[in-house]
Structure 1
């Protein structure tokens, strides 16, 4: 029988229902005509999905499982509901794998969670005496998995236009910007044409030491970085002034 990954929700339900080999497992006492049959979880599943299924026994298993689950007290341990979910799982694997093959961006764990929520919701509306109680629960879970997958694939991630525009248009006034103390600033004013630089560029460099009492040693490198190559297009006018000086 197909199983899910060791870390999936379906696998956790498997471990919770089956428990350790020597542990106590839930059982179902079903009535088939004059007979009373005690079934383990594995025997209950085999009655539902085995190759030689008995329609009468199958209906009795669903009827008893759903009845016991709905009779659980609100403050109970939920073992009856968990058993119903576990009995539904084999009916979900085919559609689960089909969805994952069609849409690789759909997360398996989310699909499994959606299916379980659908079974628990449908359990309260299921009729234990109905002609196909198990089919109703499986159908509800399958429909919810498909609906979730289609909804996720229709979601297209978009940029937060408002935040993007706000960040792009945010400017810092020259007086608010950081200036290195005792430093130099290089301002490049673009020429009046559309191509090339479209705003004033500012380069700042601190004066770490002085050359002959005039300019800082780092100033030469700063100007070399800011100037254009002789064969390059003019990008603007370069102005050198002490940091913080009036323009």
Structure 2
């Protein structure tokens, strides 16, 4: 007891620190789970096919002299760059993914034409000086934009670099939300019930800071315009859309 006869006040325990929004992908186990082909519903494969074909078409039409894939993981757009005879740079926040991609590049004898970097899609100034080409095609694959805590920061950063941006996102259709729920249930623990997102779609959250939201077409178009990007072309299927844009 104190001289006043009272016990000293006890400070409340500190509030738990919320997980970093990029922890799910940075740690490696989450990224591996979400990118495992064994976890893909059949419908997701058609979405990825559309994305790959849209990227190849954009690479051929140009003008671009390199393919820079953000959130690259195992480097699917490496095949796009190889087919279009362009240099390739993969960027991912996971050190394990980048190491595996570098090994693949070496095994396939592509070291003179391809590279992989550890980097955050929202921090373009940290890696922009290391990418190849003067007119790159930036590929944001597999709903990467909807996984970022701050999509505006990523888009405005890319706009400042010039070049062309190809963005692949899930749409807001209830069927798509059901496919996403089944997919995320396979690879994300503590998956919460979906909630309305910021861009007219549906937001999923889970352990390790996992988040993924979809986009309505009007909201996506408005976001791109507000970030100084002008849409050049758009391809859609029943799960989502691929939009090609450049600096307005």
TM range (shorter): under 0.3
State the TM-score, normalized to the length of structure 2.
0.23
Larger RCO, structures 1/2 (Cα 8 Å, 6+ apart): 2
Larger relative strand fraction: 2
Larger proportion of helix: 1
